[in-house]
Structures are given as C-alpha cells and as structure tokens.
Amino acid sequence: MTRVVDTAGLARWRESVTGSVALVPTMGALHDGHRRLIARAHEIADAVAMSIFVNPLQFGPGEDFERYPRDLDADLEICRADGVDVVFAPDQSEMYPREPEVTVSAGRMGTVFEGAARPGHFDGVLTVVAKLFQRVRPDVAVFGQKDAQQLALVERLVTDLDLGVRIDSVPIVRDADGLALSSRNRYLSARERETALALPRAIEAARSASGAQAAQDAARATLADAERQHPEFSLDYATLVDRATFTECPPDFRGDAVLVLAARVGATRLIDNASLHFVGQSLL
Ligand code: AMP
C-alpha cells in the first residue's frame, strides 16, 4: 500500500523497514520512463521509495521552474498502480526550511554541456540528491540514463563524498517514434514534436557510422539538416564524450563514450544521448 509521508513520517517509515530500500528521485509529472525506474527498483530492493520534488535550486533565472508540469494526483495514481511503498512529496519549506548556505559543488564536470547551458544546475541537483539520501537513507538509488551527465555526476557524488548509496540506472525509454520520454515533451506542439525527432535520428546516424569521429560527424550532419529545414530547431551541442569524465573524445577514441545532444525546439529545451562503445581496429 502506497503511503504519502512528510519528513517525520518518512523517518518513521524508514525505521519500520527491515529489508533493503531503493529510492527513485523524480520531479513528478510521471511517465513511462519513471515507471521503468520503479520497476527496476522493485527488482533490486525490498521496498521502494519515490521522491517527487520540483527542486528550485536546480533551475536558473528565466527557466521553467514556475511552469514545470505538476500533477500530484496523477503521480500518486501511478505510484499506487506500480506498488511504490512510500511517496515523499515535500513542499519547498519542508525541503529548504531556510536558504541553504552550504551546497554541493559539482566541480568541472558540472560546468560543461548541460552545466554550461544551465550554470549552477548540477550544484542544485547534487545538493537535493544528497539531502534526499540523508532523509531516506536508501541502500540503492535508481536514475535514468536519459540524464547521462546527471547520472555520471551522481556516481561521483557518492564516491567522492563516501555516501554509501549504490547507484543503479535504467536505459532511456522512448516513444514509438523514437523521441525520448520527458516531462517537458508536454510543452511541444504537434509540429515541434515532429521537428524534435531530429534528435533520435541523429543517434541512429551516429550508430551506423564507424569510429568516434565519424559517429559525431554523422550526428552533427543530421542536426545541421534539421536546423536548415526547421527555423524553430536550434542545436546547442552534439558531442561525443568519454563516459567517465565528460571530456570530448579524440577522433580515434576507444572505450565507453556518450553522444550527448541538446537542442531547443521552439521554447523547449530537449536533451538526448546514446551510449556508444568503440573498439580498436582488428589487426587480422
Ligand atoms: P525527472 O523527473 O525528469 O527529474 O527524472 C527523474 C528520473 O527519471 C531521472 O533519473 C531521469 O533520468 C529519469 N528519466 C526521465 N526520463 C526518462 C526516460 N525517458 N527514460 C529513462 N529514464 C528517464
């Protein structure tokens, strides 16, 4: 049975749990991507906690904090249907009784790509994740690969600050047309949604290329076409990065990479990515 709790109720619930706990942190407006995280959490832990909190600290001035979709009733329906044990949906004053003086710094990795486009964003993300970990004390937390840079930074958060929480992740869940599910897709008109499909097309193009340089070139060519054809489409970045460090891959890169993509479609900023593995040339 799903229980909705405040901070004190959360602490009582946590004390009562004897098995392992998985936390699924979200900002609500739940979709099938979030549901995949819940399913994964059930697989790897005895009890599942979900947090639903639109975190003001990770939104910059002029971003969509005010208009970010919020629908707690619909979210709770999903949590009940999916057997979430506890939902922690604090309001702002419960999460931040006063303006925090001390926050987590995401370091260099927090200043590139999404961090360059959204200064302070990852400091805000890591600060709220650290606070949620303190309050829920999960054994494991489940994140989506949709937010690849966030996932890489959360992994560094727990190792660099010895938080003792295992991080698990789930591949990107996409709609039938290929667009990665996102709460922000609700902002798109039908026409903008069609235009946004340039992102998964760029990923397909990169996957069919061979070698790091060719993969990045193929993605950029697809996105440049989209910019020419659709004035409402504007590319921010399309770069192949080393998965562990988020530094740009050299042309002959071998190993685990992520092709990170960000674009604006009309007024909506969308991100997508693909994990790519590059092996050396066979000597045979
Ligand atoms: P959000 O509510 O957007 O902050 O996302 C909460 C969690 O759900 C994050 O770990 C996201 O990476 C994950 N997530 C969001 N969309 C998707 C998706 N399409 N596929 C997989 N995970 C997702």
The pLDDT tens digits of the residues spanning 199-230 come to 999 999 999 999 999 999 999 999 999 999 99
Does the residue 66 lie in any domain? yes
**47 with 142, same domain?**
yes
Q: How far is the CA of 57 from the centre of ligand 1 (A)?
A: 18
Probe ligand 1: pick from 36, 146, 179, 260, max atoms within 8 Å of CB?
A: 146
Per the structure, the count of domains in the chain is: 2
pLDDT for 284 equals 53
Closest CA relative to residue 278, chosen from 243, 245, 237: 243
Residue ending a domain, choose from 140, 170, 200:
170
- Residue 62 is part of which domain span? 2-170
What pLDDT is stored for residue 120 in this prediction?
A: 98
Rounded to an integer, what distance in angstroms lies between the CA atom of residue 259 and that of residue 203?
Answer: 8
Name the residue at shortest CA distance from atom 5 of ligand 1: 26
Do 28 and 90 have their domain in common?
yes
List, for the chain, all residue ranges whose pLDDT scores fall below the cut of 50: 282
Tell me: do 127 and 166 sit in the same domain. yes
Residue 175, domain member (yes or no): no
Predicted local confidence at residue 1, as pLDDT: 81
Same domain, 155 and 94: yes
User: Which is the closest atom of ligand 1 to the Cα of 174?
Assistant: 19
For residue 150, the ligand 1 atom closest to its alpha carbon is 12
Residues 200, 136 share a domain:
no
Q: What is the CATH number of the domain that holds 30?
A: 3.40.50.620
CATH number, domain at 233?
3.30.1300.10
Please return the burial class of 274, using the count of CB atoms within 10 Å of its CB with bins 0-12, 13-18 and 19+. buried
Residues 134 and 198 in one domain: no
User: Do residues 43 and 142 touch, judged by C-beta distance below 8 A?
Assistant: no
252 CA distance to ligand 1 middle (Å): 31
In a domain, 178, yes or no: no
Note whether 127 and 219 are same-domain residues. no
- Asked whether residue 60 falls in the same domain as residue 119, the answer is yes
Is residue 149 located within the same domain as residue 17? yes
pLDDT score recorded for residue 253: 94
pLDDT at 280: 74
One domain for residues 73 and 194: no
Residue 65 DSSP class: T
202 and 279 in a single domain? The answer is yes
> Nearest CA to 192 among 144, 164, 230?
230
Taking the CA of residue 183 as reference, the ligand 1 atom at the shortest distance is 3
Residue 81 CA to ligand 1 center (angstroms) comes to 18
pLDDT digits (tens, 9 = 90+) for 95-134: 999 999 999 999 999 999 999 999 999 999 999 999 999 9
